[in-house]
Amino acid sequence: MKQNKKMTATRKFLLAQAVFVILILGYFYISTMPSAISPIAGKAVSDPDFIFEIENSDEIVVSTSPEFTNPIILKEGSEVVLPPGTYYWKVLGFLRDSEVYTFTIESSVGLDLREGEEKTILENSGNVDLEVGEKKSGITTTAGLDVGEFKEVEGGVDYEGEQN
């Protein structure tokens, strides 16, 4: 009988240890889950030069497809310039990934004219390709100007840009 009580006490102790280990493992599993902080799910971003903020991981996957058929994998701190559109992203974790989030980069038309003493520069400072109209002496001519592209132009002329 003494032997049975000892076996029962040993089993209870082992069961308590097993429950304790399972609780500790569960805590670590939950507390190390990768999570996304920014951009906020469903948010529209007007500046394509933003930073992904994440926790418990150092890799992010971004795609234009919710199935991630055309993924871009980024390390934390990586820089990427994305064209306007809706994107899906998640944080890649060691044991599991975060849920899938979305954000939208809005189109931004920007046309800068910088007049200097020797030359005048026209630059597409937005995030979409532009069709630029030049109005001179009642005649309008147009030319394409890609994102980030600039060209030397004449001063004293009116320029107007619109998204392609």
pLDDT 10s digits, 70-99: 899 998 777 788 888 999 999 888 778 888
Q: What residue ranges do the domains of the chain occupy? A: 1-31, 35-105, 111-163
Tokens 């890609």 belong to residue: 146
Low-confidence residues in the chain, pLDDT < 70: 1-4, 6-7, 28-32, 48-49
pLDDT value of residue 88: 94
Cα–Cα distance for residue pair 37/92, rounded to 1 Å: 13
93/20 Cα distance (integer angstroms): 25
- pLDDT at res. 30: 66
Per-residue confidence (pLDDT) for residue 63, from 0 to 100: 95
Starting at the edge strand found earlier in the chain, the sheet holding 85-92 runs 43-45, 101-105, 85-92, 59-63, 72-75
Helix or strand holding residue 36 (H, E): strand 35-38
